[in-house]
Chain A
């Protein structure tokens, strides 16, 4: 294996983990609508118990995404996390709130009351996808940082720090960029769309299912509009390219060129988009039909989440790869162009990437047991009766 292959391979693994994370944000999306979809305490318990059996996958994927980035692209890890401090801290803060909210909210002894923790879930449900989407958007829009490795040999420095944020906002400045906000909001509404589809599939309750379908139309519409607007912007905008010597420069329509040069990624992305749309539309059509086939309304046939979920992974993976492959700087600096991070200048050594390559071969095995366990747990859909009978229910 060549060093170049390993750099591309790890970029693919990190992108795939990022895409899986976006899919799993359906947990956040559903939680952002606890009070919209659940009109009383009983219904809210149904919603919370539904996502409560999956939240650890989102959490673990986020942690593994971070760990994989650390191992394969440590300069990104140090520059982005240390620089965009407030952006990441806010994300982490909301995820910490989420982690305890399920287990604590309905337990006796919870002196803060269930509603406090439900509000925490809503907070995480809105801010989590929005800020994570914002962070991803900086892969295309750039961030305000400078990398100076020679600071390590600067005897006059108070401390020899190599990565600096070029303003005092430490990441919050990203939210002032309207395109970052558009992308962040697109991720939020995608998460809500996926969340609704997941609820419709996972909860065997007619009232929640009917209410979900009406919400689906609104969320999906906003998502599609925002996604298309950002995609058009991406196609038209200048991109951060680099030449054989590693010099970074602005290339007009760089991401359009990437889509043409890497047509296979574009094809996969298009398949993904079609699947997402089909996942949404097929569920909406079932609602519109005046005389629906009763089979269509059986819980096991309400399967839009699977089309949309697989479609999300197939859309986001190539989108993230567009930001890095084909001589593109995946973490561009708006403060100093030559500080921008590329696959070549920010990755781990050949030895580490090669070692981690062998470890990554475990991923299919991990995915297999996750799918098996998920299937076992979800073989019977959640219902009011089950929640009442389950003494571990949240």
Chain B
């Protein structure tokens, strides 16, 4: 049967990508704050459970109110993402549904119900359940959200690094062979640790920013100071953790997604003893002419840094875009095929699959020897199956400007957060000697007035410029977080599943106009709701905690 009903056009692929990106970007505005605030409000309520003071109860309730407003949008955008795998990427859903569907189902059974059950107890159970049960509900809400993140990141990591599966020519799809390999792949563990820990940064920055606004307005100062104390510890640990897990993620990317790494580094021609680019002139609006071997201009780099990051040795070999396109010999002597050769092997795999199916349809299992031979030939070429759908090898190079600048934005802001949390930590806590030295240093630099240099009051210790800086950090935290996703997802392009299925082979049979309409419907809806959410959050913050809260 021919494709008489095929209504798809090239625009469908682009609009489907745009729609998924839109949903993912919006969803990721709300999830990290949910994950981060869950930890901070959990700590606040734990202190309440220990001390049983009205202050800590109201403090926990205040952050829970803001959590609730944000939580609703996270849930709303999340449902679209799950179903878009089916609606917009139906071929993908069949080709790998045997593997990919499992984490999503487990997410629903194990995580979503925990989150949705206990969030209701957290909001409405203050007067209906015991303090212990309520505290458990608050932590279980956060745990549910974190377990949910685990399973969706397992699914996402599998798209970046498909393991634990094999292709079944009889069912024409990939099938799971090891659940443990899928659920505990090194990529999944790195991704989970880096993503969740970096989400805590957003929660911490949010709490510090709101608290600093109260300090500037000289309102709710006790709540502000105590909240900053909790948030800055969470944030500082998270910022250091994000750096460490980010480094580990980078090493995994170097091993399994070398093209992504090359794009992130704007590395056109690889080699040994490679430097790590700190900054370089990469035109943000134009894909570079990497084939002409013109490396980016004005490059400031850390010697041996990239080799060290990718291979743990100073002279390790790191391939560039051209090496990956044209093929190269690895240090262990194995040859990485050129993309042209991979495309040829991919077409062989597709033909081998066609031959296998035709032979089986005509002969059944009556000639097992020939059938096995055809199957073995297919299996030999199967690792390149996805390349068989590639028409032009340059389609396999992701956007260098997006990856390069998004990566630098993420890492640069990540470093800034370590500095920011470090400064707040030293100023807000009266650490013997250390805080005094730093306060006097800041005073000498004119960043802290003289009266505050020796002060032990935390309110005095937070200068106005730092409060304003904290408020500025909030949008920067979101930019940092979204940049991380841009690197992860744009770096994978054009593969929906790395080396296995390109986007144009994964999409649904839809008219581009249909997807375009839903894209704009969701854009309008999400943007309107985001505006409402921001407006509500601002009003809630302005209103502040319960008026009866003791400010002393």
Residues of A within 8 A of B (CB): 53-54, 56-57, 59-60, 62-64, 66-68, 70-72, 74-75, 77-83, 85-86, 88-89, 92-93, 95-97, 99-100, 102-104, 107-112, 146, 148-155, 157-166, 168, 170, 348-349, 351-352, 355-356, 359-360, 362-363, 366, 369-370, 373-374, 376-377, 379-380, 390-392
A352 in contact with B99 given A158-B6, A377-B128 (CB within 8 Å)? yes
Contact A71 B87 (CB under 8 A): no
Contact A75 B125 (CB under 8 A): no
Contact A373 B93 (CB under 8 A): no
Residue of B102, B528, B529 with highest tally of chain A CB at under 10 A:
B102
Chain B residues contacting A71 (CB-CB under 8 Å) are 97, 101-102, 104-105
Give A165 to B99 CA distance when docked, in angstroms: 25
Contact B82 A93 (CB under 8 A): no
Contact A100 B350 (CB under 8 A): no
Contact B102 A355 (CB under 8 A): yes
For residue B240, CB closer than 8 A to chain A, the reply is no
CB of B121, distance to nearest CB on chain A (Å)? 5
Contact A161 B107 (CB under 8 A): no
Contact A88 B6 (CB under 8 A): no
Which of B272-280, B411-419, B503-511 is found at the contact surface with chain A?
B503-511
Contact B540 A107 (CB under 8 A): yes
Contact A109 B535 (CB under 8 A): yes
For residue B368, CB closer than 8 A to chain A, the reply is no
Main secondary structure of the interface of B (DSSP, over half): helix
Write the chain A residue with the least CB distance to B65: A392
Which of B175-183, B402-410, B438-446 is found at the contact surface with chain A?
B175-183
For residue B255, CB closer than 8 A to chain A, the reply is no
Residue of A163, A164, A362 with highest tally of chain B CB at under 10 A:
A164
How many of chain B's residues have a CB under 8 angstroms from any CB in A? 105
Give A48 to B4 CA distance when docked, in angstroms: 49
Contact A62 B510 (CB under 8 A): no
Contact A162 B91 (CB under 8 A): yes
Chain A residues contacting B97 (CB-CB under 8 Å) are 70-71, 74-75, 77-78, 348
CB of B375, distance to nearest CB on chain A (Å)? 15
Contact B8 A92 (CB under 8 A): no
For residue B389, CB closer than 8 A to chain A, the reply is yes
CB of B234, distance to nearest CB on chain A (Å)? 24
Chain B residues contacting A148 (CB-CB under 8 Å) are 1
Contacting residues of chain B (76-111) with chain A, CB-CB under 8 angstroms: 76-80, 82-83, 85-95, 97-102, 104-110
5 contacts between A and B (CB under 8 A): A62-B79, A70-B100, A81-B86, A349-B98, A355-B102
Give A67 to B115 CA distance when docked, in angstroms: 16
Contact A66 B87 (CB under 8 A): no
Give A345 to B156 CA distance when docked, in angstroms: 27
Contact A85 B5 (CB under 8 A): no
Contacting residues of chain B (32-83) with chain A, CB-CB under 8 angstroms: 61, 64-65, 68-69, 71-73, 75-80, 82-83
Contact B505 A70 (CB under 8 A): no
Write the chain A residue with the least CB distance to B107: A67
Residue in B105, B121, B179 whose beta carbon sits within 8 Å of that of A70 in the complex: B105
Residue in A100, A108, A356 whose beta carbon sits within 8 Å of that of B76 in the complex: A100
Contact A154 B3 (CB under 8 A): yes
Residues of B within 8 A of A (CB): 1, 3, 5-10, 13, 61, 64-65, 68-69, 71-73, 75-80, 82-83, 85-95, 97-102, 104-110, 112-121, 123-125, 128-129, 133, 137, 168, 171-173, 175-177, 179, 347, 350-351, 353-354, 357, 389, 504-505, 507-511, 514, 518, 521, 525, 528-529, 531-533, 535-540, 543, 546
Chain A residues contacting B389 (CB-CB under 8 Å) are 159-160
Write the chain A residue with the least CB distance to B133: A376
Write the chain A residue with the least CB distance to B531: A111
Chain A residues contacting B118 (CB-CB under 8 Å) are 373
Contact A67 B105 (CB under 8 A): yes
CB of B512, distance to nearest CB on chain A (Å)? 12
Chain A residues contacting B109 (CB-CB under 8 Å) are 64, 67-68, 359-360, 362-363, 366
CB of B108, distance to nearest CB on chain A (Å)? 3
Chain B residues contacting A153 (CB-CB under 8 Å) are 350-351, 353-354, 357
Chain A residues contacting B101 (CB-CB under 8 Å) are 67, 70-72, 74, 77, 348, 352
Q: Kindly list 19 other residue pairs between chains A and B, CB separation below 8 angstroms, not including A68-B105, A146-B5.
A: A63-B78, A64-B105, A70-B105, A77-B94, A77-B97, A104-B72, A109-B532, A146-B1, A158-B3, A159-B507, A161-B8, A170-B514, A348-B97, A348-B101, A352-B98, A352-B176, A359-B102, A373-B121, A392-B124
> What are the 7 closest A-B residue pairs judged by CB atoms, nearest first?
A74-B97, A82-B90, A81-B86, A109-B539, A64-B108, A56-B116, A71-B101
Chain B residues contacting A359 (CB-CB under 8 Å) are 102, 105-106, 109-110
Write the chain B residue with the least CB distance to A82: B90
A392 in contact with B104 given A161-B509, A355-B179 (CB within 8 Å)? no
Contact A349 B171 (CB under 8 A): yes
Contact B510 A170 (CB under 8 A): yes
Give A351 to B176 CA distance when docked, in angstroms: 7
Give A317 to B85 CA distance when docked, in angstroms: 26
Contact B90 A110 (CB under 8 A): no
Give A376 to B134 CA distance when docked, in angstroms: 11
Contact B353 A152 (CB under 8 A): yes
Chain A residues contacting B129 (CB-CB under 8 Å) are 376-377
Give A376 to B118 CA distance when docked, in angstroms: 11
Contact B5 A60 (CB under 8 A): no
CB of A325, distance to nearest CB on chain B (Å)? 21
Contact B94 A162 (CB under 8 A): yes
CB of A340, distance to nearest CB on chain B (Å)? 15
Give A390 to B116 CA distance when docked, in angstroms: 20
Chain A residues contacting B99 (CB-CB under 8 Å) are 352
A161 in contact with B79 given A104-B533, A391-B546 (CB within 8 Å)? no
A107 in contact with B539 given A163-B90, A163-B509 (CB within 8 Å)? yes
Contact A70 B536 (CB under 8 A): no
